[in-house]
Amino acid sequence: MPRLSAFFSAGFRPMFLSAALWAVLSMWLWIAYWTGMIDWAPAWDALDWHVHELLFGYGSAVLCGFLLTAIPNWTGRPAISGALLALLWGFWGLGRVVVTLDLGVSAMVVAVIDVGFLAVVSVLAARELVLSGNQRNFPVAGMVGLIALANAGFHWDVAQDAGAAWGIGTRLGLGLLIMLISLIGGRIIPAFTTNWLKQRGAQTLPVQFNGYDKLVLVGSAVSLLGWGLWPDPHALLGWVLIAVGLAHLWRLSRWCGLSTLAEPLIVALHLFYAFVPLGFVLTGLAQIWPEISQIAGIHAWSAGAIGGMTLIVMTRASLGHSGLPLKAGKTEVFFLLAILLSAFARTLSALDIAPTAMLHGSATLWMLGFALFVLRFARVMVTARG
């Protein structure tokens, strides 16, 4: 079957398409349950499920697709494809089933299936890096393994009925994903921007990854670890988070984002990365002033930084690795703008600015944006590269 063969020829094809589809379906299911449209008895508390599936369900599929696509470029080794890729994809899908439907499966079995997927991805990634001697990207594979451990912590909180949606697994998992975005974004954004500006003869170019970036990453790791392990608000932690957020903002300002307004696939990287410092600042402010909801910073990170950055990376990879021009058409512009507005609306809702309207608008734009990605790339994913 040529289409099935093409679908499992590269990791980005099944994983990115499934991630986007799940982003739509899981949000619809959450909204339908929340508004009483459906009578659904999930395996977990509904809020725990919602947080888990957008963080570890959607996030793990994107991570897998990204790693399986990037590692051959990093190592020069053959890409994981065919039957092994199909098994990984089925493993991820099985995880979505057992955490979404109450099938009477024991909590241990559910945890092994769901956590096991990322653990396997981490081991496969580490194996490829070790065999190729590529030490530069060991931290990426290591962080994927740590995200698997955070997911295990989430399952532990669920089993203990300890409010997993706000538990240590959630906070550490979110922090690790923000660290990955900070690390990978700090490499690809200035690199892609530099390439685009050089093609146009620009003289002022982005500052590439240097000692300042390393310092920001260390500050990010320390502050996120403190936030993850320290659930109660603390003013000192708040000021540290704000300082790190401002450091990220300065970092972003060095990448010449204002010079890329003519190319949506470049400027979107800058716009979505801006949610990283916004999340740090809002989370820090919530530590200092209880009147500010911590949900604002969490959604700036989750909907904006994670949702947006993963979408633009999936878009660029899906175009480039399918042999299509690396240029945004009207559909790409529309779905990137939809997710950008969705993230802003969800953050404003958490700040109690027209909360109901913003919340419904955010959910609608989120589903619309990812649905358009699915419609744009579904055919591409089952077509052999031209």
Shared-domain flag, residues 148 and 227: no
Shared-domain flag, residues 146 and 263: no
Domain for residue 180, yes or no? no
Three-class SS state of 229: helix
Shared-domain flag, residues 137 and 254: no
Give the domain-ending residue among 100, 134, 166: 166
- Counting other chains too, the contacts that 195-202 makes at CB distance below 8 Å and 24 or more residues apart are 196/260, 196/263, 196/266, 197/256, 197/259, 197/260, 202/256, 202/259
Domain for residue 171, yes or no? no
Give pLDDT, residue 156.
Answer: 95
Shared-domain flag, residues 242 and 152: no
- pLDDT beyond 70 at 386: no
Domain for residue 260, yes or no? yes
Instruction: State the Cα–Cα distance between residues 361 and 102, nearest whole angstrom.
Output: 30
Q: Which residue has the higher pLDDT, 256 or 384?
A: 256
Q: How confident is the model at residue 271 (pLDDT cuts 50, 70, 90)?
A: very high
Give pLDDT, residue 379.
Answer: 94
Shared-domain flag, residues 321 and 279: yes
Give the domain-ending residue among 109, 132, 166: 166
Domain for residue 135, yes or no? yes
What separation in angstroms does the CA of 153 have from each of 54, 115, 224? 16, 10, 16
Shared-domain flag, residues 309 and 208: yes
Shared-domain flag, residues 267 and 153: no
Q: Are 303 and 346 in contact (CB under 8 A)?
A: yes
Domain for residue 172, yes or no? no
What separation in angstroms does the CA of 33 have from each of 29, 36, 97, 267? 6, 5, 17, 36
Shared-domain flag, residues 241 and 360: yes
Give the domain-ending residue among 135, 166, 197: 166
- Give the residue numbers spanning the domain of 253: 188-386
Shared-domain flag, residues 83 and 135: yes
Model pLDDT for residues 201-239, shown as the tens digit of each residue: 999 999 999 999 999 999 999 999 999 998 888 999 999
Rounded to an integer, the average pLDDT of 42-60 is: 92
- pLDDT beyond 80 at 3: no
Model pLDDT for residues 101-142, shown as the tens digit of each residue: 988 889 999 999 999 999 999 999 999 999 888 888 888 889
Average of per-residue pLDDT values in the chain: 94
Domain for residue 62, yes or no? yes
Q: Give kind and range of the element (H or E) at residue 29.
A: helix 12-34
Tell me the one-letter amino acid at 139.
P
Q: Are 120 and 91 in contact (CB under 8 A)?
A: yes
Give pLDDT, residue 1.
Answer: 53
The total number of structural domains that make up the chain: 2
- Phi/psi of residue 23, each to 5°? -60, -35
Three-class SS state of 168: helix
Shared-domain flag, residues 362 and 220: yes
Shared-domain flag, residues 264 and 386: yes
Rounded to an integer, the average pLDDT of 272-279 is: 98
Model pLDDT for residues 278-337, shown as the tens digit of each residue: 999 999 999 999 899 999 999 999 999 999 999 999 999 999 999 999 999 999 999 999
Q: Are 141 and 119 in contact (CB under 8 A)?
A: no
- pLDDT beyond 60 at 180: yes
Please state the separation of Cα 129 from the chain's center in Å: 22
Domain for residue 173, yes or no? no
pTM above 0.75, yes or no: yes
Tell me the one-letter amino acid at 11.
G
- pLDDT beyond 90 at 35: no
- pLDDT beyond 70 at 77: yes
Domain for residue 183, yes or no? no
In percent, the amount of the chain with pLDDT more than 70 equals: 99
Alpha-carbon torsion, ordered 35, 36, 42, 47, to 10 deg: 30
Rounded to an integer, the average pLDDT of 252-264 is: 96
Instruction: State the Cα–Cα distance between residues 151 and 43, nearest whole angstrom.
Output: 16
Shared-domain flag, residues 157 and 216: no
